[in-house]
């Protein structure tokens, strides 16, 4: 067992019982990675593990939603690369932006960061916003992989869900 698996188990992030996942599918386990974000040492360790894996050609990191923003911010700080935050929908006031922070440019190679990969829906939505702004998604990184869905770019993970069950 890796140290990260041990720490995630100790953080008690696996919630057992019938739950409905974001993509509407039912499961008997939920991986509450955001609970681990409450521990600054563990969040930093996760951020460092992802930052270490990120392709050196990636020019910025992107997060969306509660699972991605905290993690992407941590990775940005550790890796010292710009941070873009994608909204669920554009602002209804002000500048009506989809993206906050750094706005990826045409020559950027973007690394998307998220907590759990099941169907790829959240990462796909994030990639669409980034691509609509002209940048290219280089890859994605997640803490836990629970699904095996083919994406248009590589999705890397730190822990397979089976290791936590």
Residue-wise pLDDT for 48-61, tens only, equals: 999 999 999 999 99
Q: What is the DSSP string of 145-160?
A: E------SS-EEEEEE
Residue 29: other Cβ atoms inside 10 A: 15
- CA pair distance 108, 58, nearest whole angstrom: 7
CATH of the domain at 126: 3.40.50.2020
- Other Cβ atoms less than 10 A from the Cβ of 19: the count is 14
Residue 32 lies in a domain: no
DSSP H or E segment with residue 68: helix 65-79
Note whether residue 7 is domain-resident: no
In a domain, 6, yes or no: no
- Taking the model in full, what pTM does it have? 0.93
End-to-end CA distance of the chain: 12
CB atoms within 10 A of CB 80: 7
pLDDT exceeds cutoff 70 at 69? yes
Which pLDDT score is estimated for 107? 94
Q: What is the mean pLDDT of residues 59-73?
A: 96
Q: Would you say residue 104 lies in a domain?
A: yes
pLDDT, the chain, mean: 93
- Nearest to 86, CA basis, from 21, 132, 118: 132
Report the number of distinct structural domains present in the chain: 1
Say what the pLDDT of residue 112 is. 98
Contact in structure between 22 and 122 (CB atoms under 8 Å): yes
Please give the pLDDT value at position 100. 95
In a domain, 69, yes or no: yes
With respect to residue 143, please indicate whether it lies within any of the assigned structural domains. yes
Query: pLDDT-based confidence at 92, cuts 50/70/90?
Result: confident
More confident residue, 85 or 25: 85
pLDDT band (50, 70, 90) for residue 26: confident
Structure confidence at residue 1 (pLDDT)? 62
Residue 16 lies in a domain: no
Predicted pLDDT of residue 25: 78
Cβ atoms within 10 A of the Cβ of 56, count?
A: 7
Q: Which residues constitute the domain of residue 104?
A: 40-164
Please determine, for residue 97, whether its predicted confidence score (pLDDT) is greater than 90: no
Q: What is the pLDDT of residues 110-161, one digit of tens each?
A: 999 999 999 999 999 999 999 999 999 999 999 999 988 999 999 999 999 9
Of the listed ranges 7-21, 49-63, 68-82, the one predicted with least confidence: 7-21
- Domain contains 112: yes
SS3 call for 74: helix
Sign of CA dihedral 130, 89, 77, 15: negative
Grade residue 93 by pLDDT with cuts at 50, 70 and 90.
confident
């Amino acid at each position: 067992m890796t140290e990260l698996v041990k720490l995630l188990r100790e953080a008690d992030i696996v919630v057992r019982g019938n739950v409905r996942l974001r993509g509407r599918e039912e499961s008997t386990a939920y991986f509450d990675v955001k609970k681990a974000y409450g521990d600054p040492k563990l969040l930093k360790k996760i951020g460092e593990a992802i930052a270490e894996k990120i392709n050196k050609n990636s020019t910025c990191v992107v997060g969306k939603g509660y699972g991605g923003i905290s993690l992407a911010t941590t990775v940005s700080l550790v890796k010292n690369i710009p941070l873009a935050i994608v909204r669920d929908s554009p602002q209804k006031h002000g500048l009506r932006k989809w993206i906050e922070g750094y706005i990826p440019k045409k020559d950027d190679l973007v690394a998307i960061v998220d907590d759990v990969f099941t169907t790829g829906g959240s990462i796909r939505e994030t990639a669409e916003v980034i691509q609509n702004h002209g940048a290219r998604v280089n890859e994605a990184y997640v803490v836990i992989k629970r699904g095996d869905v083919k994406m248009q770019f590589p999705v890397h993970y730190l822990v397979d869900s089976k290791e936590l069950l």
